[in-house]
Structure 1
Amino acid sequence: MMKALFTVFGLWLLTVTVQAALPDWQAPRGLEDPHLGQVLDTATGEWLAPGQLLERLLEAPYVLVGEKHDNPDHHALQLWLLEQLQARRPQGALVMEMLGPQQQAAVDEQQGRMLPEDAALVQALDWNPGWDWQHYGPLVRWGLAVPQRLLAANLGRDEMSALYRQPQPLSEVYRGETREALAQIMRESHCHKLPETQVPAMLAIQQGRDQRMAEVLQAAPTPALLLAGGYHVRKDLGVPLHWAGATAPRVLMLVEAGSALPDEAQADYVWLTPATEEQDYCAGIS
């Protein structure tokens, strides 16, 4: 009897160990960083193992995960995180910045069905080619396959166009330094080619997107997890500024080795990953 119990325990331990193994790194830089793959608790300064992060997120009804869109390790870790959380308790919803409201009906139609090959699924979902399917396809497939909701969190194209033409006033949450910090991000993301007259429109669109993400996440079945760009999840700039619920979301940012680490005012946890090859995103822009 005792031998059988030890055998069962050993198999369980092996399963947990296999499940907890992180995906192999794909990005080439920062591999020598001693904290690579570890998670910084910004409140305490403690570096956590990924398993410790899981335990801290298990009871959180809302989790925001911020990424660098073109880092493959960020997407691999997002999938790992979703799989590990789901293995420990049912996930209520996966919410994605990469999906707009015009796609929700198509998403709902595919939910829980036997999914077609990539080309057919991309067409069925009217997937935006601006989001690399190689990165996001596995996440979308996971969200459609498990018994939960996959929810669109972005504004529609028409909504963004309307905000660009007639920018809405900024909320009171964008006071002084917050507004200027976000405006500077807009300038930098447009390679300092954005006319100052267009900055208010860009801020209005950013505000609208963050407000929509907050609304969708708060209305989603819990536990709910949002995948979005790093600036969208920051506590001092993004979705948390528009949070109306009593329980604040936990903010996890995936950050490349060699980059400045967010502090407690910006994120709760920082997961350190390898960095992609350096590139000049503004090269060729006149």
Structure 2
Amino acid sequence: MILSEHPLAGSLWQAESGKQSEPQALFEAIGSADYLLLGEKHDNPRHHALQTLLIDQTGAQGRKVSLVFEMLEPHHQSDLDLAREMVSDSAGKQMTGSAAYLAELGEKLAWEARGWPNWSLYQPIFASAIKHGMPLYAGNPERDALMAAGREGKLSAQLLDDLWWERTYDEEQSASLTDELVAAHCGMMSAKAVAPMMVMQRLKDAHMARAMRKSRKEQGETALSILIAGNGHSRKDRGVPMFLEDDARVISVGLIEVVRGEEDASSYGAFDPELYDWIWFTPRVDEIDPCDKFREQLKAMQQGSSKKE
């Protein structure tokens, strides 16, 4: 980790007031929420440590709480249900061998094989949730269904069930997501080329929201449903909250890496109450330009293609 000494690193801010706050204020706010969205940069260890802290805090509040993961698909659900049985007994007491089981769970879920960062970063989140008796839910659609939606632009009747797919982007939301996707591909893809990705992004958000609504319905109307997902899915203007009940009490926490030389919290684009309710700044994993990395990957792919020819 780098920039640990940055003035903003470790600080928590309430976006609406624009003021720095203490974690206790966030813990208290969560106490009256229906949904809690915890963003992340997937490979940042500090983000997962903060997520674990927040899950521990909500578990200690005594409410019924469930946890939904962006990283998991419906066919993983049976493994999640089994994990709860294997790791703790009916009283929530940790069973012998539970640590070893959790260490192996990532392999059962093909976590790293599917491209997610090291399982050890996420394992404490699962351990905390199971310790507090929280049901675990897969949030993402199946990869095949996701890819088909991108190619064809339409969804099967089964996938559409209770998806609230009629909620679509308005002009501003569409333009914002288009710009984000073009920038994410370093300007090497046009607005037209990223259109299928917009369908896939919307499907992921709608699918995760459905899992959150379902988890809360199964736990009761006073329960809290928590989402672990990337910051892009956790934002309130066009992310998962777009597919939650209009009157739901939603709290979104953006976990944001600090930037060298940027010491004014309000200068960060994420510092916007329309996006997140709370911003928690953390050190960075690296300062490598993602576009340099993307160009290298593209070059390697092109070279590999040329060799095959």
Settle same-fold status: TM greater than 0.5: yes
Pick which of 227-236 and 247-256 moved more: 247-256
CA RMSD of aligned residues (A): 2.1
* Residue of structure 1 in register with 2:263 after alignment: none
User: What's 1:167 paired with?
Assistant: 153
CA distance in 2, matches of 1:79, 1:119: 16
1:123 aligns with 2:123: no
Aligned residues: 259
Tell whether the 8 Å contact from 1:112 to 1:147 is kept in structure 2 after alignment.
no
The answer for unaligned runs of 5 or more in structure 1 is 1-26
Cα pair distance change 1:120/1:30, threshold 3 Å: closer
Distance 1:224 1:252, change over 3 A: same
Residue 192 of structure 1 deviates from its aligned partner by: 2.9
> Does the 8 Å CA contact 1:85/1:91 hold for their aligned counterparts?
no
Output the amino acid matched with 2:175.
E
Query: What amino acid is the match of 1:276?
Result: V
**Greater CA drift, 255-264 or 164-173:** 164-173
Distance 1:264 1:119 in 2: 38
Cα-to-partner distance string for 1:41-65 (whole Å, 9 max, x where unaligned): 1111221111221111112121111
Indicate which of 151, 173, 179 corresponds to 2:174.
179
Counterpart for residue 269 of structure 1:
278
Distance in 2, Cα, partners of 1:87 & 1:139: 14
2:121 aligned residue (129, 135, 151): 135
Secondary structure of the corresponding residue to residue 33 of structure 2: coil
Q: Is the 8 A contact 1:94 1:143 kept in 2?
A: yes
Is structure 2 residue 147 aligned with structure 1 residue 152? no
Corresponding residue for residue 53 of structure 1: 26
> Once the two structures are aligned, what percentage of the paired residues are identical?
30
Query: Which residue in 2 is equivalent to 1:18?
Result: none
Gaps (5+ residues) in structure 2? 88-97, 156-164, 260-267, 299-309
Which has the higher mean CA deviation after the structures are superposed, 126-135 or 233-242? 126-135
The residue that corresponds to 2:10 in the other structure is 37
Q: Measure how far apart 1:30 and its partner are.
A: 5.0
Note the alpha carbon deviations across 1:178-223, whole angstroms, 9 max, x for none: 1011012112223333355432210000000000111111121321
State the TM-score, normalized to the length of structure 2. 0.77
Map 1:175-254 onto structure 2 (within 5 A).
Answer: 175-194=170-189, 196-220=191-215, 221=219, 222-254=223-255
